[in-house]
Amino acid sequence: MIRHLLSCLLPVLAIVMGSFDAAAQSIAELEKRNGFKDIQLGTPADSVNGVKMKKEFKEKDQYPAKLYEVSHPDYERIGEVKVKEITLKSYRDMIYEISVTTDKDPRLMKALESLYGKAEYDIKNQIYFWKSDSIILKFQATGKHHLELTYLSPPLFARMKDDKNKKVNDIANDF
């Protein structure tokens, strides 16, 4: 009886363990790519083909940042899906956010899930996302006819906070 039970459970256990491996490998793939095509998070913004600075601004009204627009033939399509716009945000000239707006196409989500595994869903914000310690990818509809992919760098957001705290400590130590 116990042998029969074990022989029934082993294949199920193998499938369950395999699915955990697949999810881990998928997040590893997201970390390995570290951005969109050859635009990588944490790299200098001026190293991207076709980049043009649009403006300087304060991220979250605190951190000095720059907004860039990217226009280059290499980034016009994702397969057959037309890319409408690509913007980058940088802090200390390091890219911390990549935003890619595309035409609405259901194949895009299928392609992302085939690469990175099943997405988590934030019902409050109506956003699908994949997340690790080094990268976050958000996927959402924007308007009736477009989708937006946003790649974020948690380490650079942490660096922004650390730099701000360091400035506060420097002021406090100056008393």
Does residue 152 or residue 164 have the better pLDDT? Answer: 152
Question: Contact, 128 vs 120, CB < 8 A?
Answer: yes
As a whole-number percent, the residues of the chain with pLDDT over 70 amount to 81
- Taking residues 11-38, report their average pLDDT: 67
The conformation of residue 57, written as its DSSP 8-state character, comes to E
pLDDT digits (tens, 9 = 90+) for 137-156: 999 999 999 999 999 999 99
pTM assigned to the model: 0.81
For the chain, percent helix, then strand, then coil, each to nearest 5? 40, 40, 20
Q: Which residues on neighbouring strands pair with residue 48, listed in sequence order?
A: none
Radius of gyration of the chain, Cα coordinates, nearest whole angstrom: 21
User: Quick one: pLDDT at residue 168?
Assistant: 62
Can you read off the two tokens belonging to residue 99?
């935003």
Question: Contact, 36 vs 99, CB < 8 A?
Answer: no
End-to-end CA distance of the chain: 77
User: Quick one: pLDDT at residue 44?
Assistant: 97
Can you read off the two tokens belonging to residue 84?
């409408």
Residue 134, helix vs strand vs coil: coil
Q: How far, in whole angstroms, is CA 157 from its chain's centroid?
A: 13
pLDDT digits (tens, 9 = 90+) for 48-98: 999 999 999 999 899 999 999 999 999 999 999 999 999 999 999 999 999
